[in-house]
Structure 1
Amino acid sequence: MDSDPPGTSQGQDRAAPETPPAHALNAVGRTGFGNWIDRDGKLILLEKSVRTVPYGFLGVIYGVYLAQLGFSAFAIGIVLTLTVLSSAFYTFIISFVADRIGRRRTLVFFALTDFVAGTLLFVSTDWWAPVLAGIAGNMTVGAGEVGPFLSLEQAILPRTARADRRTLAFSVYNLVGYGASSAGALLAGLPRYVGYPPLFLAYMISGLIGAVLYSSLSGGVEPESRPARRPALSPRSRPTIAKLSALFAVDAFGGGFIGQSILSYYFFLRFGLDLATLGAIFFATQLVTALSFLVSERIARRIGLLRTMVFTHMPSNVFLIGVAFASTPLTAVFFLLCRQSLSQMDVPARQSYVMAIVDESDRTAAAGLTSTTRTVTSSISPSLAGYALANLWLGVPLVAAGILKLAYDALIYKEFRQVRPPEERAVSPK
């Protein structure tokens, strides 16, 4: 007999009540394109696209840019680790203070830190500029976004759509992000013709646009109450979030070995590909990933959120290991595209699942703490990957990532298969 996951009572599904605000219910009650999500949700989607275009080209060029500045493979890993750790620190802090000082205000602040990071990269080619930019900003140098934006927007999105459209909201959110990121990756070939400064200038401008868009959000994005003193997490949500955080740590530690900058550098070392070719490859991978979100929500409706998370993720990790053993760039890219067509289908399902099984008042903390755990553990891996690329077989980071992620899939299914969100409780997935 399966044991009950933490935070559940014997024989009962653990699920938080779903009580979206009136403005969200009104928005999704109408029919027509775009009416399933309210104005705040649309602003978040717009800002997501503005923010992730530069993240797309930074993920491709950053490792190569650092190498051209004279950084060794191990030093590149250290810089990427510092970049991820800074995002983890910011995410951890906002988990406890964002609802108190205001979500809008917090988002505007972090949009301006992206402006600062872009400015540092634009004005200097000294070694300290990319290091400080990574620490000061919220630069995403992996295939998927991490950091405070992600955590806060995850907490806000369920308030912009009805419960039965929550997973759709997260699917579109990720579709927009990866679609914009793929467009950004396509720009990674520009330095060959115009140098790096125009891209860094675009990163600066995106931060300013983000600050304006976040300032335009309504008061509906804020929590319904902001008590001066309250427990960081309710007793009911605490054990669930602790178990999720531990499991997500395993997945993220594996993911840190294959951040987009690491993968880009791997293809650069293994096959000698230039930035223009790398940009085209990662444009294709991001585009395939974005398209996968079109079916992710439908799969989740048929088989459930947790099964979607696990059953799409496992084969993607087998394809990832295949990339390491590919002997030609064409074969490696084929396996990578197969991997990307499945690997991120779990993301909207995971985000929706976490928001569904914790209390509404715990959503910011839940998103922040699980994201912090993922970010901290993923920050350890890039330096190890850099060491492996410099001293061991080049395929070590990819194989290690695949094995760790397969272990995560098995563990999370074992621990949470009895924990269903509200919309799945009436009818169990077949």
Structure 2
Amino acid sequence: MARFRDRVETTRGNCLPFDWITKDGKLVLIEKGVRTVPYGFLGVLFSVYLSQLGLDAFLIGVVLALTVASSAIYTLVASVFADRLGRRRTLIFFALTDALAGALLFSSDSIWAPVAAGIIGNMTVGAGEVGPFLTLEQAILPGASDSKRRTLGFSVYNLVGYVSSSAGALLVGLPQYIGPGIGGYRPLFMAYLASGLLGTYLYSRLSTKVEKEKTPSPTIKVLSEASKPVVRKLSALFALDSFGGGFIGISILSYYFYEKYSLQLSSLGLLFAGTQIVTAISFLVAERIARQIGLIKTMVYTHIPSNLLLAIIPFVSSAPIAVGLLLSRQSLSQMDVPTRQSYLMSVVPETDRTPAAGFTNVSRSIAQTFSPSIAGYAIATLWLGSPFVIAGGLKVAYDLSLYKIFHRLKPLQEA
């Protein structure tokens, strides 16, 4: 590790080429791209696909909730056992579950196929990627990059994910050119299967440096006493944010624009590709802002305006205005993602990074488990736009609480 720091120190003034990140870090970035291309089109088409199979809004919400719940369980398992079983081995296993989920979707048009695939795989159908991949890669990246470039590393990591996801979203219009009916989705499901297999290969190329350093203790050490209060508070706050975000996950947004404005999959693909690209650009801006005002202020000052824009969307009757508001919201809403990840990895020691990332991501996943079904119920019984208002209010409450509790706890690079 000392040799790595010496090497990157001589080039720390340069961001490109990526000589501030190791081969393992580059493999993680490549796999992030490979994985999130299918997540991009699955997030847009999954709720529409379920609707075409005959499910109503409430049942679609239930299926989405089961998908998020399984991801939460996987994340919890990874948080507790991955450092003992091996991070690389654990990542390979979960890549294979994605391949299996893709095989289920490809091989059957039964209603039970997407339900089983959602439970077995790790597809992203909510507000941003969750699951064991995010947890383990979040723990690996700090050790694979220069500490002075940590926020930039997470910004690039998320940028790769959102650019790839936007490319995937563009593919949702493909089925209409292949043939009528749900059989047109099969090439996309095959691509999901292939991404899982390619991910398995890429993870197998990671070196042993990605593993946590061995400790003499034979017991499972979860978190140090010093980290527990910080991780507990952040987990509770991130859960509140994620609970709100679950009301307006990409599948819910897709369903909203599909129902209210009768946008077809090709149009929805363009819309969400645009939101992903805008979001990806915002990550690099977030890193620059964080260097000037700090991580916590960047998280809060960009998040509040985005949530106010979110709450306005259902009150407009014009599709172009609604799209404009959504794009404006996306230019701000995800700036807290790389800054949040960097902040967490900066305020806990290296030995606590996997469980800290795991528990905060588990709390996000569990909280998001309940939101889609509640959103589906609210759409069916109250108002099509009610999830936007609920989400906006919950997320503003998160922002204010985060600033009040943590604005004095600064990471070492800001102290």
Q: Fold match, TM over 0.5?
A: yes
Deviation at 1:29, TM superposition (A): 3.0
2:246 to 223, 237, 256: 256
User: Quick one: distance in 2 between partners of 1:88 and 1:23?
Assistant: 37
Deviation at 1:229, TM superposition (A): 0.9
Deviation at 1:232, TM superposition (A): 1.0
Deviation at 1:324, TM superposition (A): 1.5
Matches within 5 A, 1:99-114: 99-114=83-98
Runs of 4+ in 1 over 4 A off after TM superposition: none
User: 2:414 aligned with 1:424, yes or no?
Assistant: yes
User: Quick one: distance in 2 between partners of 1:396 and 1:311?
Assistant: 25
Matches within 5 A, 1:383-398: 383-398=373-388
Q: Which residue of 1 aligns with 2:196?
A: 207
User: 2:325 aligned with 1:341, yes or no?
Assistant: no
Deviation at 1:142, TM superposition (A): 2.5
Q: TM-score, normalised by structure 1?
A: 0.93
Matches within 5 A, 1:62-73: 62-73=46-57
Provide the aligned length of Structure 1 versus Structure 2.
405
1:257·1:400 contact (CA, 8 Å) conserved in 2? yes
2:152·2:284 contact (CA, 8 Å) conserved in 1? no
Deviations 1:147-168 (A, max 9, x none): 0000000000000112111000
Q: Which amino acid aligns with 1:208?
A: L
Q: Which residue of 1 aligns with 2:106?
A: 122
Deviation at 1:22, TM superposition (A): 3.2
Q: Which residue of 1 aligns with 2:153?
A: 169
Distance of aligned partners of 1:393 and 1:23 in 2 relative to their CA distance in 1, 3 Å threshold: farther
Distance of aligned partners of 1:284 and 1:23 in 2 relative to their CA distance in 1, 3 Å threshold: farther
Q: Which residue of 1 aligns with 2:66?
A: 82
What are structure 2's unaligned runs of at least 5 residues? 179-183
Q: Which amino acid aligns with 1:359?
A: P
Matches within 5 A, 1:267-278: 267-278=257-268
Which range is displaced more, 24-33 or 42-51?
Answer: 24-33
1:28·1:38 contact (CA, 8 Å) conserved in 2? no
Deviation at 1:230, TM superposition (A): 4.1
1:172·1:293 contact (CA, 8 Å) conserved in 2? yes
1:283 to 269, 273, 287: 273
Q: Which residue of 1 aligns with 2:210?
A: 221
Percent identity, aligned pairs only, is 62
SS of the residue 1:289 aligns to: helix
User: Quick one: distance in 2 between partners of 1:24 and 1:406?
Assistant: 41
User: Quick one: distance in 1 between partners of 2:2 and 2:165?
Assistant: 33
User: 2:395 aligned with 1:415, yes or no?
Assistant: no
User: Quick one: distance in 1 between partners of 2:291 and 2:366?
Assistant: 32
Q: TM-score, normalised by structure 2?
A: 0.96
User: Quick one: distance in 1 between partners of 2:39 and 2:323?
Assistant: 21
Q: Which residue of 1 aligns with 2:312?
A: 322
2:5 to 3, 22, 25: 25
Q: Which residue of 2 aligns with 1:56?
A: 40
Q: Which residue of 1 aligns with 2:369?
A: 379
SS of the residue 2:413 aligns to: helix
2:58·2:373 contact (CA, 8 Å) conserved in 1? yes
1:150 to 130, 134, 147: 134
User: Quick one: distance in 2 between partners of 1:149 and 1:23?
Assistant: 28
Deviations 1:19-40 (A, max 9, x none): xx33642552353511011111
1:24·1:159 contact (CA, 8 Å) conserved in 2? no
User: 2:380 aligned with 1:400, yes or no?
Assistant: no
Q: Which amino acid aligns with 1:49?
A: G
What are structure 1's unaligned runs of at least 5 residues? 1-20, 426-430
1:312·1:342 contact (CA, 8 Å) conserved in 2? yes
Distance of aligned partners of 1:327 and 1:24 in 2 relative to their CA distance in 1, 3 Å threshold: farther
Q: Which amino acid aligns with 1:291?
A: I
SS of the residue 2:289 aligns to: helix
Deviations 1:226-272 (A, max 9, x none): 54314311000011100111111110100000010000001111111
RMSD: 1.0
2:72·2:366 contact (CA, 8 Å) conserved in 1? yes
Deviations 1:404-427 (A, max 9, x none): 0000000000000110001000xx
Which range is displaced more, 376-385 or 186-195?
Answer: 186-195
